[in-house]
A and B are shown apart, each in its own frame.
Chain A
Amino acid sequence: MPDIERLVNDFVAKLSKRKVEGSQATSRLTAELLRSVVSLQRLPPTNSAAVLIEAVRGIGVKLVAANPVELAVGNIVRRVLHIIREEDLSLLTSKTSDLALSAASDDEGTIDQDYDPTQSAAAAAAAAKSFLRPPSLHALLENMLDKAVPSNNYTSSSGGDSEEKSKADKLARTRKLKHDVIEAINILIEDIDTCHELIAEQAVEHIHQNEVILTLGSSRTAFEFLCAAKEKKRSFRVVVAEGAPRYQGHALAKELVSRGLQTIVVTDSAVFAMISRVNMVIVGVHAVMANGGVIAPVGMNMVALAAQKHAVPFVVVAGIHKLCPSYPHNPEVCLNDMRSPAELLEFGRFSNCMEFGMDSGAPLQVVNPGFDYVAPELVSLLITDIGGHNPSYMYRLISDYYSADDFDLQGRIHK
């Protein structure tokens, strides 16, 4: 599969050189890559879903390692794995129910058939149960116990068919699986593309006339959100904290003004002074963790603390692709990106403070973390493509979009 390898290596190189910026772009590219992986992957007639899952997982581990900071990559890989599992299951369900139907209609009962209906019915029930969305916690637990049943059932039921027929059947099934998975990934890509609009649609419900909104740094999601409210003839003011050291707030302020929004730029350190006049804080984030905490550009925790102090709602807008099934205390999660000190100060001007040639005293050390972690207690509301949620509801969304087997991508590989 040299073609897949080349594609993957290309993307790994891009990721590791930090050439892809932004969660959305990264997610989209990841999903597109996995789509081509699925379509190019050659599948054996039996057990095709497992092979596909293994292939995607292997590539996923590589991608995550290439840029552990960008959590969206891992999220999309897990989403795709979840899609494969679901499609496999739904195929199986339709197949077994077909069999069950044919068995019931068939007059001449054999030993097999006597044994078949009960089994397949159970499997169908289990599959149907897990297929219903959202599953209850109980169903999730049950599903794990029942997991072995469908595959067993499948092999035993196919044993009864003639060789040729089953082969053709399997081929068709594999093709169908592939097709369905690709379809589902296409929907995923579409979701990623439209997440901004979906989030922005909810803007009018949150932003009211004559309010003052504070935001930090720059986020496309937050920008679209604010603009959508403006388009609905809401008039409000935006305070933009500049977001040192990258100063993306400057660019955001420029864009907001070009859309006719009243904008005030302040330094990050002036946030506390401003917060008492602010009605709501709306920010975009880097990732949403499973406990509802968020990873956001540096300085955000300070803003969240200030908002809490003055009881100002702290609203986070984030596409569902930013939802990460890991917890922030998980050692596998790379929470921060230590960026170049050059963003803070110019090397040349301080070169005399960095003399390693001398023993006397430690030289100047510059630390430039990229992100902050904001605890779930500080987050008032999380607005995603599918609506606003309390941080404590995240676990539920996670069980909708990911399957528990995939939380630890690396685990299986090491075994």
Chain B
Amino acid sequence: MVGKKGGSKGMGAAEDAEEELARTPLQAIILADSFTTKFRPITLERPKVLLPLVNAPMIDYTLAWLESAGVEEVFVFCCAHSKQVIDYLDKSNWFGQPNFSVTTIESHNAISAGDALRLIYEQHVIRGDFILVSGDTVSNMSLSQALKEHKERRRKDSNAVMTMVIKQSKASPVTRQSRLGTEELFMVIDPETKQLLYYEDRGDNLKGYLSLDKALLTDNTSISLQNDKQDCYIDICSPEVLSLFTDNFDYQHLRRDFVKGLLVDDIMGYKIYTHEIHSSYAARIDNYRSYHTISKDIIQRWTYPLVPDVQFFGNSATKLERQGMYRAPEIKQSRSSKIGPFTVIGSGTSIGNNTEISNSVVGEGCSIGSNVTIEGCYIWHNVTIEDGCKLKHSIVCDGVTMKSGAALEPGVVLSFKVVIGRNFLVPAYSKVSLHQQPIRQDSDEELEYADNSSGITESPSVSGTLDLLNEEERPELHDSQEYEVGDGGVGFIWLVSEAGQEEEWRHSVAPIPVDKLVAIMQISNDEVDLPNEDGAFLPPSGELGPDSITNDSNEDAEDIRDDSVIFEREVEATFQRAVEEDVTDDHVILEVNSLRLSYNMASADCAGALFYSVMKLALDAPHDSPNELYKNVVSTVRKWKKLLKYYLPSIDEEIEVILKFEEMCLESAREYSPLFVQILHHLYDQDIIQEEAILDWASEKEGAEESDKVFVKQSEKFIQWLKEASEEEDED
């Protein structure tokens, strides 16, 4: 029925595509939990997807976009605060939409995107290609083109399981930092087929070096390495993606585990492609800084028609005035107050005399007193700000009261219902909540989850526990506890650890301090090797190829050593968990394999690390004498023989194991040194180590220094015996 009004050229094409899609209902999965702790302490009380973004909950943007893009069935996966999400969806009528069904899937056990997808797979609700987004995505892109491409590729090659949506972004490090607060993203894309070949989203750790697998260059006629792209976190997936998550149960993070896993591992030859959008908008709110940037983009109307003066869903429409000022029709504003550009004022808000508001969003039902200055702030609903307050670049949640004369320095976050006392100055970057900061738990497991699930590297000390865990063990408010927010104030200031302080400025809504900006510019200027020009470029292979690792750069070598130490630790942790939880060998192998891939280690390293873990286990078992220790070793080795054997397919790995053992005896586990020969013999008896390996090891060591030969000498007799035995065999 849409009138073909002459030039609506885009519409015609979109319609055709929509018709084609209509044959199978298009499905989408929204993960209504980001599985991170970035929005703490706010997310202790309300799920992230319900936080207001320019006065409308984030999930409304995502749902409205999906609906307008022609998606017919949406599954909202709720985890933390699931009840609030479901209640909201119910209340706001999303459930009752014609031609757009919204179903919630609830779980309290999922701790990562991987878990969520595994759960959805078990429910057997996904029948065809689906869109995978998180509930904090803001976009206005039309999916039809990307879907068409995806389907066409699928027809030709059933292994093209996923299409990732990417968007151009200027490659300057300042832009990246100041816009989304993310790290540099490197992608290698085949310029013709648009296949994704390499993905690295922790660009800041690379220190200016990027190592690509040689195979990338040999297997592809041309590749383009791009660092001027932004990942929109919108994926068009085939049903295989869900089963892949189920098969690889250790996949947690969508990008870090799944995408990298597929790319590095070559599982069944599955391929990932990219689709670049140009004129449409797409971004994901990952931290406070992107919250700030995306709010501004919305006010600047990049997300049209999802803008404040259009009633896209349930939000009360405001009126757009000059200079990007949006005012709801029912506000009380004093004549002497000034409202600056790019400001949104929600309905029912009253503003007192001589108050100045600029670059800010003020929610509904707020009352703002006289002589207040508000600059670059996000004030949510029903906030009371008394006379003379000063707010700069802060987030103020629902129901907060600021007593007269209080002030907020840049980067402050006031969580729900906090009261700031009279004339109290809240220091920069502090977070104030009615809840006390959870006591840090440093157990390995926790760390791993936090690390796996967070979108971006966070120094482990700040990443606390998950929202979910926290809700259960929410700290009770003690009356005796003194509040730290001034006279008559209510709320706790959360401590920021030293390592975290460093990160605070990156992810807050406050502008980046000048000195940090200078520092970023400095770094980028140092990286003159990498051209920061527009568009894609092909790196000179010598510089970025695998050879660069072998450069004599100390830094690099250190990096590798660091990596291997971490890797060893990870393997040990995995193994220990396996022992404690009685995990079968197969699963341990799987986990260790994935670790190997993520740290890019050789299988010899695995063997070494695993052997180390086994020996460590034996050592940790209670024992009084070397004899008992030996018995421990014998029993442990018997138990894990199969596992060890799996990683010892050739002589090289076996030699590595012997070397590792030697190192242990010298350094970490001296108790083994008297037992070296005994254990070596035992390993030989158990067929874990073959005689060739031992002989090779001995001959390798012949040229070494005296100090290194201690154990060779110790085992001289044994080696002698081996040699004789083999000679005898030869004679036969």
| Cross-interface CB contact of A340 among B302, B309, B324, cutoff 8 Å | B302
> Within the assembled complex, what's the spacing in Å between the Cα atoms of A20 and B289?
36
Q: Are A352 and B302 in contact (CB under 8 A)?
A: no
Answer whether residue B428 sits at the interface, using C-beta atoms and an 8 A cutoff: no
Instruction: Name the residue of chain A whose CB is nearest to the CB of B304.
Output: A340
Q: Are A219 and B304 in contact (CB under 8 A)?
A: no
Task: Give chain A interface residues in 335-386, CB to chain B under 8 Å.
Answer: 338-343, 346-352, 354-359, 363, 365-366, 368
| Residues on the B chain within 8 Å of A252, using CB | 6-7
Task: Give chain A interface residues in 315-339, CB to chain B under 8 Å.
Answer: 338-339
Q: Are A342 and B281 in contact (CB under 8 A)?
A: yes
Task: Give chain A interface residues in 237-265, CB to chain B under 8 Å.
Answer: 243, 246-252, 255
Q: Are A355 and B179 in contact (CB under 8 A)?
A: yes
> Within the assembled complex, what's the spacing in Å between the Cα atoms of A343 and B167?
16
How far in angstroms is the closest Cβ of chain A from B30?
A: 19
| Residues on the B chain within 8 Å of A357, using CB | 177-179, 181, 289, 292-293, 511-512
Answer whether residue B207 sits at the interface, using C-beta atoms and an 8 A cutoff: no
Number of residue pairs A-B, CB distance < 8 angstroms: 148
| Residues on the B chain within 8 Å of A350, using CB | 170
Answer whether residue B327 sits at the interface, using C-beta atoms and an 8 A cutoff: no
> Within the assembled complex, what's the spacing in Å between the Cα atoms of A220 and B11?
15
Instruction: Name the residue of chain A whose CB is nearest to the CB of B64.
Output: A17
Answer whether residue B216 sits at the interface, using C-beta atoms and an 8 A cutoff: no
Q: Are A25 and B302 in contact (CB under 8 A)?
A: no
| Residues on the A chain within 8 Å of B297, using CB | 354
Answer whether residue B305 sits at the interface, using C-beta atoms and an 8 A cutoff: yes
| Residues on the A chain within 8 Å of B11, using CB | 21
Answer whether residue A171 sits at the interface, using C-beta atoms and an 8 A cutoff: no
Answer whether residue B8 sits at the interface, using C-beta atoms and an 8 A cutoff: yes
| Residues on the A chain within 8 Å of B281, using CB | 340, 342, 347
Instruction: Name the residue of chain B whose CB is nearest to the CB of A357.
Output: B178
Answer whether residue A164 sits at the interface, using C-beta atoms and an 8 A cutoff: no
How far in angstroms is the closest Cβ of chain B from A133?
A: 29
Instruction: Name the residue of chain B whose CB is nearest to the CB of A16.
Output: B311
Which among B9, B228, B280 has the highest number of chain A CB atoms within 10 Å?
B9
Q: Are B305 and A66 in contact (CB under 8 A)?
A: no
How big is the B interface, by class?
Answer: 35 or more
Which among A18, A24, A338, A365 has the highest number of chain B CB atoms within 10 Å?
A338
Task: Give chain B interface residues in 293-314, CB to chain A under 8 Å.
Answer: 293, 296-297, 300-305, 309-312
| Cross-interface CB contact of B7 among A16, A24, A248, cutoff 8 Å | A248
How far in angstroms is the closest Cβ of chain B from A216?
A: 11
> Within the assembled complex, what's the spacing in Å between the Cα atoms of A66 and B230?
34
| Cross-interface CB contact of B300 among A341, A343, A346, cutoff 8 Å | A341
Task: Give chain B interface residues in 1-38, CB to chain A under 8 Å.
Answer: 1-9, 11
| Cross-interface CB contact of A338 among B6, B178, B279, B320, cutoff 8 Å | B320
How far in angstroms is the closest Cβ of chain A from B347?
A: 14
| Cross-interface CB contact of B140 among A29, A340, A348, cutoff 8 Å | A340
Known contacts being A220-B3, A342-B281, A347-B279, is A18 close to B296, with CB within 8 Å?
no
Q: Are B8 and A21 in contact (CB under 8 A)?
A: yes
Q: Are A249 and B300 in contact (CB under 8 A)?
A: no
Instruction: Name the residue of chain A whose CB is nearest to the CB of B93.
Output: A9
> Within the assembled complex, what's the spacing in Å between the Cα atoms of A203 and B303?
41
Answer whether residue B317 sits at the interface, using C-beta atoms and an 8 A cutoff: yes
Instruction: Name the residue of chain B whose CB is nearest to the CB of A343.
Output: B279
| Residues on the A chain within 8 Å of B2, using CB | 19-22, 25
Interface residues of A (CB under 8 A from B): 6, 10, 13, 16-22, 24-25, 28-29, 65-66, 217-220, 223, 243, 246-252, 255, 338-343, 346-352, 354-359, 363, 365-366, 368
Interface residues of B (CB under 8 A from A): 1-9, 11, 64, 67-68, 97-98, 140, 167-170, 172, 174-175, 177-179, 181, 228, 230, 278-281, 289, 292-293, 296-297, 300-305, 309-312, 317, 320, 324, 511-512, 517
Nearest first, the 3 A-B pairs at minimum CB distance are A248-B7, A357-B178, A348-B168
What are 28 A-to-B residue pairs whose CB atoms are below 8 Å?
A13-B97, A16-B312, A17-B64, A17-B312, A18-B310, A20-B1, A21-B8, A22-B5, A24-B3, A25-B1, A219-B5, A248-B7, A248-B8, A251-B9, A339-B304, A340-B305, A342-B279, A342-B280, A347-B167, A348-B167, A348-B170, A349-B168, A350-B170, A351-B179, A352-B172, A354-B297, A355-B174, A358-B178
